[in-house]
């Protein structure tokens, strides 16, 4: 544990005065509100988009980077915009593919002590920076018509299960969730089916909208098939 981490833990137990509590919380509320307002105003007219999630640590020459870029390109050719977390790795690949396809390229960046910085492939008027993860996740869900989830770490899992939970609890409408990379995702899905489902903690229908694929063509097929019965107008 670093000295800075130790200091943060100690500060949590430090007794604060009423004035300190009121002042800190009040300013936090205004900052949170400002992030919501800016997000809603900047993203309200972007049209149908698909969010691409994945690791910030994926390198330029990795097969998943190249696949994410190809998926984003094909999505733009199908009339969808692309939304990512705005950082490096898979996020950069998604924005890069969208830019190459001359489609809408949105980046929802987050201030982190490591890994995260804006990538250069985001549309200049669609690059947003957030301090709060929960505000950022609202933007992902509110302005996306589908989630494409590439291999990633804890952040990717957080975004995946947030989406699944919101659909399961009917807090948002259903939309397709596409896991890319059978080798990476099959173990997790097997555990969900053999443990969560077997224990009765989820229902079989909770998994209906989750697809596992390996190629960009399969991603497009899943998303287009889902929306074929709706009058979704892509960004052409």
Q: What is the CATH number of the domain that holds 170?
A: 3.40.50.450
Cβ density class 87-97: b for 16+ within 10 Å, e for less: bbbbbbbbbbb
| Tokens linked to 60 | 């330029």
**Which residue do the tokens 């899992």 mark?**
157
| Tokens linked to 204 | 């079989």
Helix, strand, or coil here: 55? coil
CA 10 to chain centre: 32
In a domain, 26, yes or no: yes
| Tokens linked to 32 | 């949170």
Residue 62: band (very low, low, confident or very high) from pLDDT cuts 50, 70, 90: very high
Closest CA to 104 of 85, 81, 70, 79: 81
Classify residue 16 as exposed, middle or buried by CB count within 10 Å of its CB (0-12, 13-18, 19+). exposed
Q: Please compute the mean of the pLDDT values over residues 52-70 and round it to a whole number.
A: 97
Q: Which domain holds residue 203?
A: 17-227
> Does residue 83 contact residue 175 with C-beta atoms inside 8 Å?
no
- Helices 63-77 and 216-227: angle between axes, nearest 10 degrees: 40
When the pLDDT of each residue in the chain is averaged and rounded to a whole number, the result is 89
Res 236: pLDDT: 39
In a domain, 5, yes or no: no
Contacts of 87 (CB under 8 A, 6+ apart): 56, 107, 109, 110, 115, 116, 117, 118, 119
| Tokens linked to 220 | 């497009």
Q: Please compute the mean of the pLDDT values over residues 88-96 and round it to a whole number.
A: 97
Domain count, the chain: 1
In a domain, 62, yes or no: yes
In a domain, 45, yes or no: yes
Name the residue with higher pLDDT: 195 or 20.
195
Neighbours of 8 (CB within 10 A): 11
In a domain, 87, yes or no: yes
In a domain, 233, yes or no: no
* 45, pLDDT greater than 70: yes
Res 232: pLDDT: 55
Res 227: pLDDT: 87
Distance CA 60, CA 1 (A): 31
| Tokens linked to 192 | 């969900």
In a domain, 82, yes or no: yes
Residue 18: band (very low, low, confident or very high) from pLDDT cuts 50, 70, 90: low
In a domain, 83, yes or no: yes
**Which residue do the tokens 């489609």 mark?**
103
* 156, pLDDT greater than 70: yes
Distance CA 85, CA 14 (A): 34
Q: Please compute the mean of the pLDDT values over residues 15-21 and round it to a whole number.
A: 62
């Amino acid at each position: 544990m670093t000295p800075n981490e130790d200091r943060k833990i100690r500060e949590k137990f430090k007794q604060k005065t009423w004035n300190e509590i009121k002042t800190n919380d009040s300013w936090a509320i205004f900052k949170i509100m400002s992030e919501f307002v800016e997000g809603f105003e900047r993203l309200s007219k972007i049209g149908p988009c698909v969010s691409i999630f994945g690791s910030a640590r994926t390198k330029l020459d990795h097969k998943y980077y190249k696949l994410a870029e190809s998926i984003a390109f094909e999505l733009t050719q199908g009339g969808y915009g692309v939304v990512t977390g705005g950082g490096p790795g898979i996020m950069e690949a998604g924005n890069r593919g969208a830019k190459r396809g001359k489609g809408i390229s949105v980046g929802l960046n987050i201030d982190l002590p490591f890994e995260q910085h804006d990538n250069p492939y985001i549309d200049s008027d669609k690059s947003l920076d957030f301090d709060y993860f929960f505000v950022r996740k609202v933007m992902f869900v509110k302005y996306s018509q589908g989630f494409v989830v590439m291999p990633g770490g804890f952040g990717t899992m957080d975004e995946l299960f947030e989406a699944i939970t919101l659909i399961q609890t009917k807090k948002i409408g259903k939309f397709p969730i596409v896991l890319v990379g059978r080798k990476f995702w099959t173990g997790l899905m097997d555990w969900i089916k053999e443990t969560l489902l077997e224990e009765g903690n989820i229902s079989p229908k909770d998994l209906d909208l989750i697809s596992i694929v390996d190629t960009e063509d399969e991603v497009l097929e899943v998303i287009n098939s889902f929306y074929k019965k709706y009058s979704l107008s892509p960004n052409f």
